[in-house]
Amino acid sequence: MRILVTVKFVPDLQSQRSFTEGAVTRTGDDGTMNELDENAVEAALQLKEAAGEGEVYALTVGGDDAVAAVRKALQLGVDHAVHVSDAAVAGSDVFGTAKVIAAAVEKINDEAPLDLVITGMAALDGLTSMLPTALAAELDWAQLTLASGLTVDGSTATIVRHLPDAHETVSASLPAVVSVTDEANKPRYPNFKLIMAARSKPVTTWTLADLGIAPESVGAGAARTVVVDASPRPPKEDRTVVTDTGEGGVALADFLIERGLA
C-alpha cells in the first residue's frame, strides 16, 4: 500500500495574525500542521499497518515555515516527507495549489504507483474543503470525500459519507483521492522514539521547475480570486455578563425581550 497524505501548515487559530496585501502574515513559531490533517495521517498509517507493508508520504506546499507540517507528520510515523517550496507558488488559489500537488503526486507515482492520496476534510484556517475535489479532478482519479469511514479491499476503496440528508456508502477503484473527517479515527500522539527518529529523517524539497510547472501558471497572478480587503471583526460593544444570584434567568429573558428576540 503506497499512500500520500497532504498536510497544510496553518497559523495557530488561537494566536494573533494579520493580513498584508491579501496574504496571511505568519510568524514561524505560531503555526503547525492543520489539526484535521492528523486524521489523514492516521488513516494512512492505519491502512499501512493493516496491510503489513507499504509506504506513507507526507507532502506540503508552502514557504520555508511549512516544513513544520511535514516534520509533524514524520513524528507521527510517516516514512517520507516532501516539501514543495517556490516563491512563485505564493498567492495561489485552490486550483493553483491543486495543480502543484497533482504534479508532485504524479512525480512520486512515476517512481512507483500510489494507491491513495488522503487529505483532511478542510484546513481550519480557511475551511473551504475544495482542495480534495480539485486535486481528484486534476489527477483524474476517483474522488471519495468527507469519509467518516474508509476501507480498502483489493483494488477498491469504500467510504462512508455522512451528509445531512443521507448516509452514503461510495466505492471506487484505486487510485483515489480520499478526504477524511475528524470522525474517521482518533489521531495518535507522537511518541518520544518517533520524535527523535524524525529529526534525522530527510525532507525532500522540490521547486516548480522540479515538477515541470510554469511559474506563471500558478501563484497570485494565475489566481481566479483576489482578496481585496481583510480586517479583524470589530469587537462587540455593550457586552454584559451577570452573575446569577437568583435572578439570572429573569435578566436573560429581559435582555432577549428588550432586543425583540423573545
Ligand X SMILES: Cc1cc2nc3c(=O)[nH]c(=O)nc-3n(C[C@H](O)[C@H](O)[C@H](O)COP(=O)(O)OP(=O)(O)OC[C@H]3O[C@@H](n4cnc5c(N)ncnc54)[C@H](O)[C@@H]3O)c2cc1C
Q: Rule CB under 6 A: which residues touch ligand X?
A: 35-36, 182
Residue 152 · residue 115 · CB < 8 Å: yes
For other proteins, the binding residues in 204-233 under the rule CB under 8 A are 223-233
Parallel/antiparallel/unpaired status of strands 31-33 and 9-11: antiparallel
CB nearer to other proteins: pick between 112 and 163: 163
What phi and psi values does residue 194 have, to the nearest 5 degrees? -70, -40
CA 76/CA 38 separation, integer angstroms = 9
User: Cis ω on the peptide bond leading into residue 190 (within 30° of 0)?
Assistant: no
Q: Does 236 bind other proteins (CB under 8 A)?
A: yes
CB nearer to other proteins: pick between 193 and 236: 236
Residue type, 30: D
CA 65/CA 60 separation, integer angstroms = 11
Of the residues 82, 134, 147, 150, which one makes contact with other proteins according to CB under 8 A: 134
Residue 204 · residue 82 · CB < 8 Å: yes
CB nearer to ligand X: pick between 127 and 196: 127
CA 21/CA 226 separation, integer angstroms = 10
- Given the rule CB under 8 A, which of 55-63, 109-117, 139-147, 207-215 is the region that contacts other proteins? 139-147
Residue 196's binding partner among ligand X, other proteins, none (Cβ under 5 to 8 angstroms by kind) is none
Q: Which residue has the cell 498567492?
A: 91
Q: Does 186 bind other proteins (CB under 8 A)?
A: no
Question: What x/- string results for residues 24 through 43 when contact with other proteins is judged by CB under 8 A?
Answer: ------------x-------
Q: Does 47 bind other proteins (CB under 8 A)?
A: no
Residue 164's binding partner among other proteins, ligand X, none (Cβ under 5 to 8 angstroms by kind) is other proteins
Q: How many residues bind other proteins (CB under 8 A)?
A: 78
Grid cell digits, residue 87:
516563491
For other proteins, the binding residues in 59-88 under the rule CB under 8 A are none
CB nearer to ligand X: pick between 9 and 95: 9
Of the residues 6, 60, 145, 185, which one makes contact with other proteins according to CB under 8 A: 145
What is the crossing angle of helices 192-200 and 67-76, to 10°? Answer: 130
CB of 41 to other proteins, least distance (A): 17
For other proteins, the binding residues in 147-176 under the rule CB under 8 A are 158, 162-173, 176
CB nearer to ligand X: pick between 20 and 245: 245
What is the crossing angle of helices 131-139 and 94-111, to 10°? Answer: 50
Residues contacting 166, CB < 8 A, separation 6+ = none
